[in-house]
Amino acid sequence: MDVLCLGESMIVLAPAAAEPLRGAVDLHMGVAGAESNVAVALARLGAHAAWCGTVGDDPLGRRVRDVLDEAGVDCAHVQTDPERPTGVYFKDPGPDGTRVHYYRRGSAASTMGPGHLDGVAAPRLLHLSGITPVLSDSCAALIDELLVDRALDPALVSFDVNYRPALWTVSEAGPALRRLADAADITFVGLDEAQTLWGAATADDVRELLPDAGVLVVKDGGNGVTAYEGGKSYYSPAEPVDVVEPVGAGDAFAAGFLYGRLQDASLEASMRLGHRLAAGALQTVGDLAPPPPPETVRAILEDQ
Ligand code: KDG
């Protein structure tokens, strides 16, 4: 297996017309989850990508599985909890942007804990995010087991900070996410997140805060991305796009970047593929857009 992504996937309900939830009658139902978004994008690029999480024994959990199966994601290790529901969240578009309302406390995924991946063969890369440790104490212990104690050694571990302010405060999340981000082989973080969580003003500040992250990828929206590896830094400008909806762009970038690294492409080429996938996600209402054709992917990765 190339990549195993672990995290919570949920059902997302959004007003069919971009109007406030309070008055909406028709809702669009989809499947969301930062880590499963990465798995879907990687599978569509041709990687053997698996998603691992727990869903409820309910129609919503079956919908999550169906959608990921159809996208070509390996769901062989997905677990079902007969006692707990699949998590749900709603999007609430408003004049100041879209707010999210989660109904995920006590969800099936929140029961994940240490030993969850026992018996699973180590993939080349294990992808995790900073959403999972806030779901429950047992989920936090699972992330420690996989990221800090390296239960799936020799898998490389990538970690997307993914701070979700609706789930925890800066004072809770700041130190916890910094410790995890610094323990990963590949760390993704938005400069805006790093400012909120740790007071970093520049990408170089983030590097100083996370000296042990093997490859550190600092994303600064439309300004581009700076990646650090082995004492060197590399800057890559973002592709100019008209943004339709930003949700999912970070996951798309991570998938493109990780796919490049799995193909042994350079940091610069991997960032370019990340930008290309992110540009697609930014121009669609859903979390992800279809990937570029294989010849475009090859050209992006070969152009060192
Ligand atoms: O990155 C997109 C995710 O934020 C979305 O799919 C929902 O995973 C999600 C979360 O926990 O907010």
Mean pLDDT of 3-27: 94
Mean pLDDT of 247-260: 94
What pLDDT does 176 receive? 98
Mean pLDDT of 52-63: 98
Compute, in angstroms, the gap from residue 230 CA to the centroid of ligand 1. 31
Higher pLDDT, 141 or 222: 141
Mean pLDDT of 53-80: 97
Could you give the CA distance from residue 294 to residue 79 in angstroms, rounded to a whole number? 32
pLDDT category at 245 given cuts 50, 70, 90 is confident
What pLDDT does 290 receive? 86
Give the orientation angle of helix 34-45 with respect to helix 249-262, to 10 degrees. 50
Could you give the CA distance from residue 189 to residue 271 in angstroms, rounded to a whole number? 14
Contacts for 293 with CB less than 8 Å, ≥ 6 apart:
none
The answer to whether residues 225 and 252 touch, using CB atoms and an 8 Å cutoff, is no
Instruction: Return phi, psi of residue 141, to 5°.
Output: -65, -35
Task: Determine what percent of the chain falls in helix, strand and coil, rounding each to the nearest 5.
Answer: 40, 25, 40
Compute, in angstroms, the gap from residue 231 CA to the centroid of ligand 1. 32
Give the orientation angle of helix 191-198 with respect to helix 170-181, to 10 degrees. 120
Q: For 174-203, how does the pLDDT look when each residue is reduced to its tens digit (9 = 90+)?
A: 999 999 999 999 999 999 999 999 999 999
Concatenating the DSSP letter of every residue in 152-199 gives TTTSEEEEE----TTTS-HHHHHHHHHHHHTT-SEEEEEHHHHHHHH-
What DSSP state is assigned to residue 144? I
Q: For 106-159, how does the pLDDT look when each residue is reduced to its tens digit (9 = 90+)?
A: 999 999 999 999 999 999 999 999 999 999 999 999 999 999 999 999 999 999
Whether 287 is a known active-site residue: answer: no
Q: Tell whether ligand 1 has an atom less than 6 A from the beta carbon of residue 164.
A: yes
Lowest mean pLDDT among 15-19, 157-161, 192-196, 266-270: 15-19
pLDDT category at 80 given cuts 50, 70, 90 is very high
Give, for ligand 1, the residue of 37, 128, 134, 253 to mutate: max count of ligand atoms closer than 8 Å to Cβ: 37
The enclosing H or E element of 255 equals helix 249-262
CA end-to-end span of the chain: 26
Say yes or no to pLDDT of 36 above 90.
Answer: yes
Q: Tell whether ligand 1 has an atom less than 6 A from the beta carbon of residue 87.
A: no
How far lies 220's CA from each of 36, 81, 191, 194, in Å? Answer: 23, 38, 5, 10
Nearest CA owner, ligand 1 atom 1: 34
pLDDT category at 304 given cuts 50, 70, 90 is low
Q: Tell whether ligand 1 has an atom less than 6 A from the beta carbon of residue 216.
A: no
Could you give the CA distance from residue 17 to residue 261 in angstroms, rounded to a whole number? 39
Q: Tell whether ligand 1 has an atom less than 6 A from the beta carbon of residue 247.
A: yes
What pLDDT does 57 receive? 98
Domains of the chain: 3-302 (3.40.1190.20)
Choose, from 251, 264, 287, 303, the residue flagged as catalytic.
251
